[in-house]
Amino acid sequence: MEKTLLILILTLGCCTAAPSDSYNVTGSVDEGGQCLCTVILPDNSFPMHRMEFLEITSSNLSISVQQEITKIQSYRSSLAVYLERLSNLTLRVEKVELGILSYTELDFALLKLEIKEMESLAVQLRTSLNGSNIIAETLFMEIQNISVMVNQLESYDKNNVLAVRREITSLRKRLQDCEKNQTVLSPPPVTYGTCDHGRLINVTKPFVVQLNWRGFSYKYGGWGKDSFVETSNKDQFWVAPLNTDARLMELVRFHTAYDDLLLYKSPSDKTLSKYNSYSRTYDYSNCGQGSGMTLYNNSLYYNCYNSQQMCRMNLDTNEVQHQALPDAVYNNRFSYAAVAYQDMDFAADEEGLWVLYSTEQNAGNIMIGKLNVTSFTIERTWVTAQYKPGVTNAFMVCGVLYATRPVNTRMEEIFYMYDTNTGKEGKLSIMMDKMMETVQSLQYNPNDHKLYMYNDGYLVTYDITFLPSSEPQ
Ligand SMILES: *[C@@H]1O[C@H](CO)[C@@H](O)[C@H](O)[C@H]1NC(C)=O
Ligand SMILES: *[C@@H]1O[C@H](CO)[C@@H](O)[C@H](O)[C@H]1NC(C)=O
Ligand SMILES: *[C@@H]1O[C@H](CO)[C@@H](O)[C@H](O)[C@H]1NC(C)=O
Ligand SMILES: *[C@@H]1O[C@H](CO)[C@@H](O)[C@H](O)[C@H]1NC(C)=O
Ligand SMILES: *[C@@H]1O[C@H](CO)[C@@H](O)[C@H](O)[C@H]1NC(C)=O
Ligand SMILES: *[C@@H]1O[C@H](CO)[C@@H](O)[C@H](O)[C@H]1NC(C)=O
Ligand SMILES: *[C@@H]1O[C@H](CO)[C@@H](O)[C@H](O)[C@H]1NC(C)=O
Ligand SMILES: *[C@@H]1O[C@H](CO)[C@@H](O)[C@H](O)[C@H]1NC(C)=O
Ligand SMILES: *[C@@H]1O[C@H](CO)[C@@H](O)[C@H](O)[C@H]1NC(C)=O
């Protein structure tokens, strides 16, 4: 009833009243007798759409304020985290500076990575705060300071221990990658110990096996594996660091397995000097001189100490034989460049045992002598045109002498060859990366086609690649 009444009142109010000036009202009656009114309010009486715009703007504003607040809160909490991490880092760097941690214990790579990550976050933070936040500015500066500090610390590492360790890590990884790949790609079959292949064409990157067992100060010496093709113990490793005088070989260590070598485990040591308790002096006559030694058929061959003689020690009996090397100069007359006392350099390959030396008659050029291991005498010699002190080291492969020279502190080049089979010499250029500056000794082993380098105390190997015999040489 109420509703009907209202319509009635309205009907009366609008349809009967004449349109007035103050209200813009139009009215009409539909076919059902109902009256419809349209009231149009003038624009200036209430700015409805402005109100709406204001509402939206205000809501937009409050949203962005909310966002800003959230941002600042999150910056604040991340600032706190970074500050904590920064003070942790500072602590660690200080420890290094004070020498509490040794350089080798500290993982610079990780530290640098962390700092780099923080640096990029700090830059982000700084940009978004647009230079208006002092904490962020300080943080940024501190991070930059710490980064500089770590770089400086690293540059103090004169011995390159860290660089070597990093290289080792990357080499290990590459080795693993290679091993993974090798299971997929079957490598061409290699027959070790024969000369059924073409010429030497390349050597791989160095693989650092370890630091020598006597330590970092023992920069001079040699190492390798029994290089006799028919050896009864293919895993007989020898490591012979000279004494720190860079001349005397007094101690030699042997391992019968690669794993033992790696872990410095189960060594068998030979002392070549003898102590005379009556005269209280040492007898060095069975000791070696220089880093030209090699192990061949379970006997160690070397230049006898302070002598023109070749020495041979049978590892089973410990008996040491002496034999003169005719015309050979000795006692550091014509050693290799950069290493002292290597007047005689023994080398083994597929064809047997050789000794590289020089004589006054040949003006210090390299002589190649082929040894008869039965009689322990020189069977035949070849004279090369290469001055021995002009090369850093040399090795033999299938009767061919290869000599190296330095390119710089990180690179060595195999640059000279002399083929005893043809009597011809030649130039070549095969680059070899090296870890440390000086090549103290370089040995080829025909049983695994590897070069064994004693590189300022580090034991390093390289794999040699040859052309297949079917390809043109
Ligand atoms: C009333 O509305 C009509 C149409 O919208 C308009 O033409 C007219 O000028 C208005 N009259 C007044 C008094 O506002
Ligand atoms: C409010 O925000 C919306 C969405 O971000 C945008 O489309 C609109 O133009 C803003 N309005 C005003 C008045 O700022
Ligand atoms: C900082 O170092 C302390 C103790 O060494 C450790 O509890 C904390 O988690 C470290 N903080 C960060 C952010 O690494
Ligand atoms: C940052 O600040 C500069 C001047 O201090 C100003 O010109 C610039 O527009 C600001 N940038 C932002 C994204 O606020
Ligand atoms: C950064 O290093 C400079 C100079 O070494 C020093 O003056 C400055 O106070 C350091 N800044 C911070 C934030 O540690
Ligand atoms: C292993 O093989 C893949 C695909 O053939 C190649 O991209 C990658 O360089 C190889 N890695 C090594 C270490 O040879
Ligand atoms: C030689 O070996 C090095 C290292 O593995 C490699 O980078 C280089 O490409 C090789 N060169 C040739 C001619 O095969
Ligand atoms: C290798 O050594 C063994 C045992 O001492 C000996 O019987 C053999 O004749 C040697 N071979 C050569 C080629 O010297
Ligand atoms: C090596 O020496 C032994 C003993 O003197 C001799 O019988 C043998 O023929 C020599 N070998 C060569 C290849 O000259």
Distance in angstroms (rounded) separating the CA atoms of residues 250 and 302? 12
Question: In the sheet where 411-419 sits, what is the strand order?
Answer: 393-397, 400-408, 411-419, 424-433
**Does pTM surpass 0.85?**
no
Note whether 284 and 433 are within 8 A (CB): no
Work out which ligand 2 atom sits closest to the CA atom of 61. 14
Q: Whose CA is nearest to atom 2 of ligand 8?
A: 297
Q: Is 447 within 8 Å of 461 (Cβ atoms)? A: no
Fold of 66-158: Methane Monooxygenase Hydroxylase; Chain G, domain 1 (1.20.58)
Among candidates 464, 443, 429, 462, which has minimal Cα distance to 225?
Answer: 443
Q: Is the CB of 57 under 6 A from ligand 2?
A: yes
Q: Atom 1 in ligand 3: which residue has the minimum CA distance?
A: 88
- Nearest CA residue ID for atom 9, ligand 1: 24
pLDDT computed for residue 2 by the predictor: 36
In angstroms, rounded to a whole number, what is the distance separating the alpha carbons of residues 264 and 464? 26
Domain with CATH 1.20.58 in the chain: 66-158
- 197-466 maps to which CATH number? 2.120.10
Q: Which of 226, 230, 297 to mutate to test the pocket of ligand 8 (most atoms within 8 A of CB)?
A: 297
Distances (CA, A) of 237 to 152, 168, 295, 310: 39, 21, 9, 21
Q: Is 190 in the pocket of ligand 2 (CB under 6 A)?
A: no
Distance 8 CA to ligand 8 centre (A): 134
The DSSP 8-state label assigned to residue 387 in this structure reads E
Residues 6+ apart with CB under 8 A from 265: 255, 259
Average pLDDT for runs of 10 along the chain of length 473:
36 44 67 71 53 66 67 71 75 69 58 70 68 65 71 61 59 61 55 88 92 93 96 94 96 94 92 92 96 97 97 96 96 95 97 97 96 96 97 97 96 97 96 94 96 96 86 55
Give 3-state DSSP helix, strand, coil % of the chain, rounded to 5: 30, 35, 35
**pLDDT value for 148:** 73
Buried b (16+ CB within 10 A) or exposed e, 297-316: bbbbbbbbbebbbbbbbebe
The total number of residues written for the chain in this structure:
473
User: Ligand 2, atom 1: nearest CA belongs to which residue?
Assistant: 60
SS3 450: strand
**Region(s) of the chain under CATH 2.120.10:** 197-466
